[in-house]
Amino acid sequence: MIVGGGTAGCVLAGRLSEDPDCRVLLLEAGGEDRRAEIHIPAAFSKLFKTEVDWAYETVPQPRLYDRALYWPRGKVLGGSSSMNAMIYIRGAAADYDGWAAAGCTGWGFADVLPYFKRSEDHVRGPSAWHGKGGPVPVTDPLDPSPVSLAFVEAALQAGLPRNDDFNGPTLKGAGLYQLTQRGGRRVSSAAAFLRPARSRPNLRIETGALATRIVFDGQRAVGVEFLQGGASHRVDAVREVLLCGGTVNSPQLLMLSGVGPANDLRQLGLPVTADRPAVGANLQDHPIAGLRYRLRRPISLMNAEGAVSVLRYLTTRRGMLTSNVAEAGAFVRTRADDPEPDVQYHVAPVLYEDHGLRPPTEHGFSIGPTLVAPRSVGRLALRSADPTEPPLIDPNYLADEADLTSLVKGLKVGREIALQPALASFRGEELTPGPHVHTDDALAAYVRATCETLYHPAGTCRMGADNDSVVDPDLRVRGVEGLRVVDASVMPTIVRGNTNAPTMMIAEKAADLLRMERGAEAASQPHA
């Protein structure tokens, strides 16, 4: 039984149902992925604050002038992979080697690389770094903006190396991002893994099904209760319950089911199945700040919805509507004590403000330094015992001063790139933070006043070898039986880059763990 039809849940449902002897039920709180904006790459921000978005909000952040930040998360088959920017990034090899060094045996980079490769249908063919023939297309952008190409050249002029493959030997450098697209359309995990599996008789999919409680018999998870069509239902699991709700919903459902900090649960009148204080802790995210410039020419993605652009897309699946918006990027190191990059740039040939909810009124481009090695850690907790109430989300942004320092340095490096000759014919006035904001203190104040999430929360069901971790390296929830968590919430530390590809990898590896255990059980049975 898989709870959550997002990135990880779709991978698991697709992989596990390949075995005709394995019956799989997938429960998803959202609906089918039918909205046109899901499939048109440049339209993803039009999905924000709609029925396919959980539209969470953090608690006020004291180091961000008490701002509460909006967190879009996918509430639809495919989850956030149905509304993200389609960037395919694994992170640094050192991220996974760090997991292994901390006790997560089997999760070093050499261990997980085969699972990344298994998913991939890489446009450049198979290699030591990439796979071919998998369900997830990894493609080069079809029609990158000349602004994005100029950013890459400007980054080289500023001293960064060119990097044509951020999923190769190193993250460092500047280049265009590779994308999970095919033929000018988004390929979410629902499209890649679930759609080919839907005709299998051993796979059942229930949408509009909000899980409200994991049912336990003693310490063993035996089923799930969920709301659907205004009524409460219960389904029992023959083998295991696999929790794939993501970094927000997975810890929330664990706590609603009595697995979490005992004192907090008792205060809400919830029975305690297992006292697990780490459930909801270890919350990490990637905050982003923004540089924005006017364009000297009217060539931004403001034109994407024009008649010419729409006609081109409809007839050829080319043009601006194939843009993932954040087309180009770079990874740089701002910390002397960290050998890997800690800042990633997302560069958009448009003025991207307020998560794209505020349409631009003039042509421009955006350079967004993003902190991908945050040292600040937050927590998620229940707001109430009502499963329809969103939890309390406290990312604790910038609690560690080093995070603010890195973002300030990221803005300064971004400005240096923007001022290079390659961007001179495109670059107009700096709109934000503006030329008057130039001291470190002023830039820090700007970061506090404007930084937002880059949509990569992780870590709230931390994997580890220690007894305090939420799940063990086989992703089993400690303190109970028959229950695993399989999604970005199990990351001990957040990876340096966009989290969609790593989440698919986690689910690919989990599918193998389950298959191997099932095979071992079958082999141990006495034969007649």
Catalytic residues: 456
Q: What values do phi and psi take at 401, rounded to 5?
A: -60, -25
What's the rounded Cα separation, in Å, for the pair 59 and 342? 26
Encoded tokens for 349? 């040939």
**Could you give the 3-state DSSP secondary structure of residue 361?**
coil
What's the rounded Cα separation, in Å, for the pair 69 and 57? 6
Neighbouring CB atoms inside 10 A of 374's CB total: 26
Nearest to 208 by CA among 191, 192, 228, 190: 228
DSSP label at residue 191: I
Encoded tokens for 253? 């459902």
Nearest to 87 by CA among 329, 301, 350, 367: 329
What's the rounded Cα separation, in Å, for the pair 241 and 238? 9
DSSP structure string for 202-224:
TEEEE-S-EEEEEEEETTEEEEE
Q: What values do phi and psi take at 216, rounded to 5?
A: -115, 140
Residue with tokens 């099904």: 209
Nearest to 7 by CA among 245, 325, 355, 316: 245
Q: Which residues pair with 74 in a beta bridge?
A: 53
